[in-house]
Structure 1
Amino acid sequence: MDVAGRSAVVTGAAGGIGAAVAEELLLRGAGVTLTDLQAERLTETAERLGADHPGRVSAVPADASRTEDLRTVLSEASRAHGPVDLFVANAGVPGTRELGASDAEWRQALDVNLLAHVRAATLLVPEWLERGSGHFASTASAAGLLTQIGSATYSVSKHAAVAFAEWLAVTYGTRGIGVSCLCPMGVDTDMLNHGRQSEDALERTMARAVTDAGDVLSPAEVARLLVDAVEQDRFLVLPHPQVAEMVRRKAADHDRWIAGMQRYADSLADDRP
């Protein structure tokens, strides 16, 4: 999909990867609707981007995991820039403690990291099938292909996000609908930096598990790779190429891979409670 002239929605767009994706889409000529729960920060980001791209930026504060909020965002995006051609499901929440997560924390992780994608696709795909085109991009994580040391909620919800994106591609990929799934390791975002600076030992361990595994990339670098994938109609986006080799090793010998991850987790034990 050539994004120039297209109408795009990006969730979780007040900062981090979402704001960077919005900016990259604008640089390539799209009209972009930003949405996020952080209304004040969202407005600041939209004003900053709008100054460089007048008339092509709109912002709608909303909860990306709520169907009615999504309806409002899609309606406003269509009014501002035309029927939505590209949806970037980027909003996410970080992981919580090992097996100490409450039911509410599990529900939040699954609602935001998975079901927000399902609900958006449910609203968009029927219209895209009628039009014969559309593209759904989701931000998952390398944790969705491998795992996340320290957080079951993050690992499980991101695995599910990857699985849903795969299902979308398999089911609708021959009917004009493109799907891309972003699976980075460390990206220089507030979420990662919060873990790095946390007084909580397990949060620091989770952050170290990410930063020790590879380079920490800028959101702009990751955004360029994602939008490239959208334009080239590619599914899997791996900003850290070593993840592909890790996945191959996992598939080749699952027991050996688990043993290696156990050793790696133990090597981080100094920071654990």
Structure 2
Amino acid sequence: MSPLIEINDPALSGANTILIDARAGQNTHQRYLAGHLKNAAFVDLDKDLAAPVTDASQGGRHPLPNIHDFAALLGKLGITPQSHVIVYDDKAGAFGGARLWWMLRAIGHTHVQVLNGGLQAAINAGIELSTDEHTPTPTNPYPATEGFKNTVNIEETGIAAHDENHIVIDVRETPRYQGQTEPIDLIAGHIPGAFNLPYIYNLDVDGRYLPAETLKNLYTDAIGNVPNANIIVHCGSGVTACHTLLGLEYAGISGARLYVGSWSEWSRRDLPIGTTKR
């Protein structure tokens, strides 16, 4: 199954489809109520797709939730192993959309897609938005008990960044990577040895993913001959990295892994910091 689905696909209203609006930032619920796809249930990135943060130096600003809490959330949303989950956000999938896609894939749920272009694709297509709260029919907690697969920790990432058989991709904006500015975390710069490939390069001017072949060429130029399983992707806090992980999958490059803690964890550990482009 392609990780992306288009706004005109009839599966969006399929009998087995669970549609999720997964937003991030300020006033997420108010923005949802101001206009969302019909029958889309609301989830919040900070409250639903991440654990509470007590110390960002241990897991970053968006650590993964406890697997049992996530399983309970999926049950509350009516998601079962047979569900076709379609998720979107209002930022071209760069926040909650791709994060929830990755989380579901990481527990073995493969029947999940992200709406290409996000909410804006629906607006551009002239689809009437709903302002009604959609409450899904809950079911039992999702049968997931083994945790999230395809992650790496801070130690593995630091080693991989200096190993020619691995590549660590930093998807943040180039000025943040180069240490010129840091609007969110405490220190500017990057993990020494990491390669900068901003997630925004995945998108066209309309906020849609570039064609798969175009993305494959973009990624291959950066990755070279590194095995897929040795590709590690990170960002500021393990969210927009999922946008590139989705892009990699769409381009046919499967098996890359996520450093969840990302820069928000690394930069708080008194570890080496780079500012020179690789």
Do the structures match in fold with TM over 0.5? Answer: no
Determine which structure has greater relative contact order: mean sequence separation of CA pairs < 8 Å that are 6+ residues apart, divided by chain length.
Answer: 2
| TM-score, normalised relative to structure 1 | 0.34
- TM-score, normalising length: structure 2: 0.33
